Structure 1
Amino acid sequence: MSISKTAQANHDQLFPNHTSTLKETDPEFIALFDNFAFDEVLQYTKLTIKQRMKVTLAALIAMQCVSEYKIMLNAALHIGVTPIEAKEIVYQAVPYVGLGNVFDFSQVTNDVLIERGVPLPLEGQSTTTPETRYEKGSEAIRRVAGDKVDKMRATMPENQKHFAVFLADNCFGDYFTRGGLDENERELLIFTMLASMGGADQQLKGHIANNIQIGNDKQLMIDTITILLPFIGYPRTLTALNCLNEIIPEGENE
């Protein structure tokens, strides 16, 4: 078995002049994977190369794949993903994956950027202050999710209401409102991370609805999990597809 011309060309676009050790030790596997991930899969998606790399980075963070993330980060920067965009993907993962799972990726991202001559720290992207984070976070939630969090805060037991507050001031006020990525990109990345990490079906369904609310249609999300399939596997891909079909049945107006 050999690597197809299309797969080789797409691979070389991301990794020019790269010599794969696995290609020497596991040539059959590399041909199988590359032909699928860099040829066959790409026939079923309209995502741009930058979109593909962004969702791939988000998925790898969610799955704790530090080594593959470092490889893909270099490829993403090579094809035009900016250092700020890369950093914001890492930051956006914190409220969904948790700092304990994201910390190593922050360190690796810094290492890669320094190796590429990018001066740190990057320009700040925060758009809120301690005084405005709750208000601006609440406004962002209402744009993408309607009044769901307002209802949570109104109906939750008193000893649990702080979780609704945290969703507004921290999850959205501190992170979602940042610059560097727009709201549509952030919601698609959140969908990506929830689908990739598994075990968060209720939240995944909620963010499917959020994506639709702000204009990311079902086909975009199908295209996204198509790209992710070689990296996250079939169980999580098919679970995400089932959640999509439950929220937006085929043939139903979005």
Structure 2
Amino acid sequence: MNSAQNSETASHAPSAAAVGPADERYERGLALLRKVSGHERADVLDSLADIAPDLGRMIVSFGYGELLANGRLTLEQRELATVAALCAMGNAAPQLRFHIDGALNVGVTPAEVVEVLIHTAVYAGVPAALNGIAVAREAFRDRPGLAHEPVATGEGERRYERGLAKLAEVDGHAGEAVVASLQDIAPDLGRYIIEFAFGDVYSRPGLDLKSRELATIAMCTGLGTAAPQLRVHIHGFLNVGGTREEVVEVITQMAGYAGFPAALNAIAGAREVFAERDR
């Protein structure tokens, strides 16, 4: 589900023979890809025509025609989740650029894009967030009419109290238990979680808590190294108004960006969370 890199496209779209017989999945995927990319022609087909045309067809038919076209998440939710995961994984800058553009094309605001990239600093580190911001800067510059005013809130006072309240709002006892578990070995780490992650980042305006937790699920799934934290944030997403169906859908979507093993492992975590909440 990646765009072509910034290469020239052919003078015409691939023929029907080049991409295989037209079918419902392909046509549906092509229509959705056009909406996300903002282009009439799917550059990804041209970029792969000389080496792996079947991959291009699979991206359109499966990636967009099946994985993303079922309506279980809005396009805005899907693009924010994809931007979050690609930024966190840090290994797909061209595709991150494509999906930042895609997010803007489907109605995500520049402020929301920036917020999800800042949010990445908590789960994938500051370098990942900085690299994501650099890609967003280029995307914004290439849209001369785009209106974006940076938000500089400052850290403010009472970071600990603000963070503790936000942590309780999102994660409840699960978050508090994580912080408490650090008191005997790394109490400062617990304090940083409260003050920085929740007092500074989660408390920023510009992105609602449900969107933040959706992005966090996408990041933790994509990274594949944070199963306990993924479970905490699946709880958090449900606590702030998300549904189980949305949890399953965003994890399923990550199969296209982080691979099926990452999605399967995350689904196992979701199953545990759902069972816990049913007891």
In the other structure, the counterpart of 1:24 is 49
Give, in angstroms, the shift of residue 134 of structure 1: 1.5
Give, in angstroms, the shift of residue 210 of structure 1: 1.3
In the other structure, the counterpart of 1:122 is 149
Name the CA shift for 1:156/1:120 in 2 (closer, same or farther; >3 Å): same
In the other structure, the counterpart of 1:179 is 205
Instruction: Please give the secondary structure, in 2, of the residue aligned with 1:249.
Output: helix
Name the CA shift for 1:121/1:72 in 2 (closer, same or farther; >3 Å): closer
Candidates 10, 26, 30, aligned match of 1:8: 30
After TM superposition, what 4+ stretches of structure 1 lie above 6 angstroms from structure 2? none
CA distance in 2 between partners of 1:152 and 1:66 (Å): 33
Tell me, yes or no, if the aligned pair for 2:111 and 2:148 is still in contact at 8 Å.
no
Candidates 138, 161, 169, aligned match of 1:111: 138
Instruction: Please give the secondary structure, in 2, of the residue aligned with 1:248.
Output: helix
Name the CA shift for 1:22/1:119 in 2 (closer, same or farther; >3 Å): closer
If asked which structure has higher relative contact order (CA below 8 Å, sep 6+), I would say 1
- Superimposed CA distance per residue, residues 74-119 of structure 1 (whole angstroms, 9 cap, x where no aligned partner): 1211121110011011000001100122222111111110111267
Give, in angstroms, the shift of residue 35 of structure 1: 0.3
CA distance in 1 between partners of 2:176 and 2:55 (Å): 50
In the other structure, the counterpart of 1:224 is 250
Name the CA shift for 1:152/1:62 in 2 (closer, same or farther; >3 Å): closer
Unaligned runs of 5+ in 1: none
Could you tell me which amino acid in structure 1 is paired with residue 140 of structure 2? L
1:169 is the counterpart of 2:187: no
Candidates 67, 72, 94, aligned match of 1:41: 67
Matches within 5 A, 1:22-171: 22-25=47-50, 26-42=52-68, 44-64=70-90, 65-117=92-144, 122-124=149-151, 126=153, 129-151=155-177, 153-154=179-180, 156-157=182-183, 160-171=186-197
Could you tell me which amino acid in structure 2 is paired with residue 233 of structure 1? G
Name the CA shift for 1:243/1:45 in 2 (closer, same or farther; >3 Å): farther
Tell me, yes or no, if the aligned pair for 2:255 and 2:261 is still in contact at 8 Å.
no
- The number of equivalent residue pairs is 252
In the other structure, the counterpart of 2:8 is none
Could you tell me which amino acid in structure 2 is paired with residue 5 of structure 1? E
Tell me, yes or no, if the aligned pair for 1:54 and 1:76 is still in contact at 8 Å.
yes
Decide which moves more: 129-138 or 240-249. Answer: 129-138
Name the CA shift for 1:219/1:154 in 2 (closer, same or farther; >3 Å): closer
Give, in angstroms, the shift of residue 175 of structure 1: 0.5
Unaligned runs of 5+ in 2: 1-19
Give, in angstroms, the shift of residue 147 of structure 1: 3.6
Name the CA shift for 1:34/1:119 in 2 (closer, same or farther; >3 Å): closer
TM-score (ref. length: structure 2): 0.82
Instruction: Please give the secondary structure, in 2, of the residue aligned with 1:116.
Output: coil
More helix by share: 1
Name the CA shift for 1:104/1:235 in 2 (closer, same or farther; >3 Å): same
